[in-house]
Chains A and B, each alone.
Chain A
Amino acid sequence: MAFWTLFGLRKGSASTKWPKAVDDHGQQGVLGMPKVLDGVCAEGCEACIEACPTQAIGRKEGASQSGIFIDYGRCITCQRCVEVCPEPILQASDTWALGVRNRDELCWQAALQTPEATELGQRIQTRFRRSLHIRHVDAGSCGGCESELQALNNPFYNLHRLGIYFTASPRSADLLLVTGALTRSMLGPLRTTWEAMPEPRWVMAVGTCAVSGGIAEGGYTCGHGLDNEMPVDVYLPGCPPNPAAIIHALLLLVGRSSQHIHAGRLP
């Protein structure tokens, strides 16, 4: 047994300094959500709209030069739109930090004002003094979001270094973190968990399924996103969102990082 202690000491710290060290997030190479570049679509071309399995892409006058817009809250980063686009309009990007406080920020809007979102951030900051206890509920996921959530406690991300913890009891949780397509049978346990949490309490939808229904939306047991069931404070789409994106969204909630996407436009 003693050799484990020695081994542990000898290995030292494997933890990243991210987000303080800007590039040390460990997600190099990850393909994120597609970007809409300036350009004009070929006459009558709807290839991307047809290829999208989750109806995340649409056309709206003025949304971009081509009129193409993406609802990132519906995107599962499958890259099919990028592959079928005959013009250089849709492009793969390395953008994955897409946590937002307002669901509409994931969609294109001409003018978007979110004073509530700003105020929410300030309130959380005063209440929680930057520490956070999380209760996770899987409400019908494919296991991908859990795989990446479990990674948060590995030595690299080491969530504890940020004062953020997963907790077993909802009684001691500040944040309800929900993944999955919201199957009918999980709604009861989900609501019971939420009701067992002391106020003030916050809710985060993690993964495209929890944000909008995702790939399973429209199934005979599934829902259309968490905000149909309870008030949601932070939305993080992704399929699955990677651990760094989850950390970004958690820090966004406690007011320790800033939002990267505004009005449906990637940085």
Chain B
Amino acid sequence: MTARSRTAGRQRPQRHFPLQVLLGFLVVYFLVPFWWVIVNSSKDAPGLFGGGNTMWFADRIDYVENLTRLFTYDGGIYGRWILNSTLYALAGGVGATILSVMAGYGFAKYRFAGRRFSFSVMLGALMVPATALVIPTFIMFSGLGLTNTIWAVILPSLLNPFGVYLMHVYARDAVPDEILDAARADGAGEIRTFFRVAFPLMRPAVVTVLLLSAVASWNNYFLPLAMLSDNRLFPVTVGLGVWQGVASANNAGSTSLWSLIILGALVSVIPLVIAFFTLQRHWRGGLSVGGLR
């Protein structure tokens, strides 16, 4: 209750202290795995397996050596995986966003024949197990000679019905018809109106959809797992999964991969964490509208 007197002068009263403690516990829960990974990626194999405190550093802190091993193992394959993931996330994210913005705007602002039908079909597609598509897509792509190429990963990630839905809702609410009509009255064509008037208004949602699509591509596992067999095309998720398989299977031989897997997991999350935190101001706006209406 001392907290009461201390914060009495503030606008927000003391009652939130227990809430903040509760929140504190939750934060600890959400951070524990990160802490474990940070600590244990500094250890070598004996340090990892040989007992000792699991939540604190061993005597030998070996980030430099582990990092060197991570980026040189198997000809520096890990660095390639990170680059691949970046490529897939950027290409898939940007492509999906362009398609979603256009389609969302089209659905929201034009009453064309088949609009209602195609919109409901698209919403129904949200329910299709994304993984269910992997099997037939694989067979189709292998017929086209596309399996085991970067396109096998990028093309399917262009499809983002949720992005279309989000853009549709946002365009409907944030782009008033009156402004569009005014632009048209001024003699601007439809395309020009879209780029000059509508697009700037839709910007927060564009950032949101871009981030969500990029994250979806970055996180993709099942699809590239099935599509790719050349390990130099793997995204980092599949690569680490394969390492875990190698480390778990017999015969793995002379190198212990476990410390590389832990450090690899840590390094792989850094780009996304940075992207999220630097961009968070820009993209929450898009979500609020998408969620509310």
| Chain A bound to chain B | no
A residues near B (Cβ < 8 Å) are none
